[in-house]
Amino acid sequence: MNCHDWGGQGRDIILVHGLASNCRIWDLVGPLLAETNSVKAIDQRGHGLSSKPNQGYDFDTVTNDLYLFLEANQIDNPLLVGHSWGGSVALNFAANHPEMVSGLCLVDGGLIEISSIPGNSLEKALVDMAPPLFDSLREEFLRKRIAQRDWGERDSLSLQNDLANIVMANFQETQDGTITPRFERSNHLKVVESFWNHHPSSLFSSIKCPVLNMPARLNDDETSRQTLRKNLIAQAEKDIDKFKTVWLEHSIHDVPLQRPILVASTISSHLKEGFFN
């Protein structure tokens, strides 16, 4: 399992990326948190520079990967910060190993229950959540596409960085000069299938640590997905002893790249205030 270590001293913080991403999505958040904490980010199996087996993409196995990483590195009671699918992995970890984690930060993730989306089915999810096809694309073309993406209102730190350099870490160049995702499409679909059978609401009563929920939203439009998310938040508030939601306003899903100062300062302020004690 590949790990990026920013060093630092103080509370151990482990950053866990989302589906089809890698540890570099934390490139801008990690150094800010490392000013007062010991901060590491991992590449989950199949992603980034970690090994790429063709099995083990169910929640129990990826949770066990995290367990073995913490054990091998002798990290006790860390704060787990998970983005998207990484938040779901962190939530599953805390439910299965409550004695090994001191707190959770769910960055626009964790409370994801795709089987509850109205009209959804596993077959539909496998189509809707499948990655794009990158056949025959070259790096220059993809960099232009990334530059043209609507990143929303970026903060000053985000604007100082070329986000394409970070996003391109999701890809590698092949012998013919084209690029291909580091996370294979077949394994991506295995994660989607495991998501279908993942029900976070069934885990809430097993969570014993404080949970800081940090969902991102651009506006208050009431969509069916927004309603589902709010219902899960209400259930979590009921079932988890110490649960708090801080909405990351005017933010997109990839908020660690769009507004890293907001993400880091929200976590840091709650650490300073003793929320995770």
Q: Is 245 helix (H, G, I), strand (E, B) or coil?
A: strand
Give per-residue pLDDT as tens, 44-100: 999 999 999 999 999 999 999 999 999 999 999 999 999 999 999 999 999 999 999
pLDDT value for 220: 75
The 10 Å Cβ neighbour count of residue 149 is 12
Contact partners, residue 67, CB within 8 Å, separation at least 6: 93, 97, 100
- Over residues 250-269, the mean pLDDT reads 98
Mean pLDDT of 18-44: 98
- pLDDT score of 126: 97
pLDDT score of 121: 97
What backbone torsions phi and psi does residue 265 show, to the nearest 5 degrees?
-70, -35
Cα–Cα nearest to 152, from 44, 258, 23: 258
Return contacts of 148-152, CB within 8 angstroms, 24+ apart: 151/252, 151/254, 151/257, 151/258, 152/218, 152/250, 152/251, 152/252, 152/258
What pLDDT is recorded for position 38? 98
Q: What is the mean pLDDT of the chain?
A: 96
Helix (H) / strand (E) containing 12: strand 12-16
pTM exceeds 0.95 for this model: yes
The pLDDT confidence band at residue 23, using thresholds 50, 70 and 90, is very high
pLDDT of residue 277: 93
pLDDT interval class at 252 (50, 70, 90): very high
- 110 within 8 A of 82, measured Cβ to Cβ: yes
Q: Are 233 and 213 in contact (CB under 8 A)?
A: yes
Please give the average per-residue pLDDT across 219-244, as a whole number. Answer: 90
Under the banding of pLDDT at 50, 70 and 90, the label for residue 135 is confident
* Number of residues that make up the chain: 277
Secondary structure of residue 107 in the 3-state scheme? strand
CATH superfamily, domain 3-272, is Alpha/Beta hydrolase fold, catalytic domain (3.40.50.1820)
How many C-beta atoms surround the C-beta of residue 55 within 10 A? 10
At residue 144, the pLDDT reads 92
User: Tell me: the pLDDT tens digits for 182-194?
Assistant: 999 999 999 999 9
Measure the CA–CA gap between 90 and 96, rounded to whole angstroms: 10
Percent of the chain with pLDDT over 70: 100
Q: Given this model, what pLDDT does residue 224 score?
A: 76
Note the pLDDT of residue 128: 96
Percent of the chain past pLDDT 90, that is, above it, reads 92
Residue with tokens 């367990």: 67
Q: Residue 191 to residues 43, 65, 131, 154, 273: CA-CA distances in angstroms?
A: 15, 15, 12, 30, 36
- Scanning the chain, the segments in alpha helix (DSSP H) are 29-33, 59-72, 85-96, 122-128, 139-148, 156-159, 163-167, 185-196, 224-239, 255-258, 260-272
